[in-house]
Amino acid sequence: MSHLAVSARLDALFEELVARNPGEPEFHQAAREVLDSLAPMLAGSAEYLVPGLLERFIEPERQIMFRVPWTDDHGAVHVNRGFRVEFSSALGPYKGGLRFHPTVNLGVIHFLAFEQVLKNALTGLAIGGGKGGSDFDPKGRSDMEIMRFCQSFMTELYRHVGRETDVPAGDIGVGGREIGYLFGQYKRITDRFEAGVLTGKGIGWGGAQVRTEATGYGLVLFVEEMLRTRGRSLDGLTVSVSGSGNVAIHAAEKAEQLGATVTTASDSSGWVHDTAGIDVPLLKQVKLVDRARISAYAKARPTATFHTKGSVWDVPAQVALPCATQNELDDAQAKTLANHGCLIVAEGANMPTTLEGTQVLMDAGVLFAPGKAANAGGVAVSALEMQQNAARESWTFEESESRLGTVMRDIYRLCREEAQFLGRPDDLVLGANAAGFRRVADAMLAQGVV
């Protein structure tokens, strides 16, 4: 089929997707990016154009929405919504995080689950894709309130998950504390210590070394591999990071371990610029222990300044790592990065760059690493945690980090080789989407119409 005919079919498929999923702009954006980039591959791969395959690829296998009632410390009853989208089990049990944030709705979870399918496929590990969460906001809530919410959430979710069915992990708003409460409730309801039902657990009860660091570390290891294939390294480069959560902090930590200077961090209240380089232990204290705003970092650090206007992308850097949230880097900011001589933009968050921003970067010759490839380290170590749980083993930090590095290097090579095969060697968006789709689609074809 000609490229023009394939594009027409994909356009019609996208129009149908929008009509069936109204009011879900994040999912529409993610699907548009993937479908557009698949056209060159599909034009030369007739086996993937069989009736119904693409339609099944973009339609989740199951979508679950439920109410989550819970009581605060003053006895008031609140009701939130819970979600789980089990998108594809072609390669293994559904795998993907839970996000607790007031912006969560079905469309956001839909988009995250769709991206997760391709991300998980790129790891080469036997995991499908899913995502879940709630519009519950953990900020300002006591430990007891969070525990009661998590127990109520799991009281419904437990019937949909299991180590061979669906294995959730953490995401924004869901860390070790929340995973602990969720696991405890699952154990209470089912009367089973099924360690493999959740990942991101505590080290002492089935968790994996490096899981906390995995997404941020993996992101930087991916960037280092991009540079290595071009005869360079992170040593001596300036790096800008957005966000100050788990991913951003550990990306900064690994970048500095490799000799880079990280100069920025941010949260919803503003951002800081530290001319001496981010003090990672101080940032951890402020954000992970004290749970304070990023301005507290600037108050404690003489070389740092706090800003409420502009963004971290105004600061010149050779490497930019957006690690906050979706669509935080638009076309205007992308132009600023390119004009300042940025070499690489690698996504630590899920879809943090707008479609227009991505195009600006690629047109300017900035190497761009999409999140489904660059931030796959978290789910990769989650899958390794599942392996350890199944074998009742526990690996050292060094062994786990070594395996993480292998996975990230393999993902980069896979994406680059796929892009080269399709005639666009530096287009990692094409490479990631095509390689991930190929793995999922091959499994779908082998398993029949299910």
Q: What are phi and psi of 171, to 5 degrees?
A: -160, -155
Residue of 119, 131, 201, 372 with catalytic role = 131
CA contacts within 13 A on the Cβ side of 152: 21
3-state secondary structure at position 118: helix
Q: Name the pairing type of β-strands 77-88 and 129-134.
A: antiparallel
Gap between the Cα atoms of 234 and 417, Å rounded: 23
Q: Where are the strands (E) in 175-322, listed by range?
A: 238-242, 261-262, 264-267, 270-274, 304-307, 319-322
| Strands ordered across the beta sheet of 62-71 | 62-71, 77-88, 129-134, 94-100, 166-170
3-state secondary structure at position 124: coil
- The reply to whether 131 belongs to the active site is yes
Gap between the Cα atoms of 219 and 349, Å rounded: 10
188: tokens are 């209470």
Please report, for residues 145, 171, 226, 288, the alpha-carbon distance to residue 380 in angstroms, rounded to integers and kept in the order given.
31, 14, 19, 23
Active site residues: 131
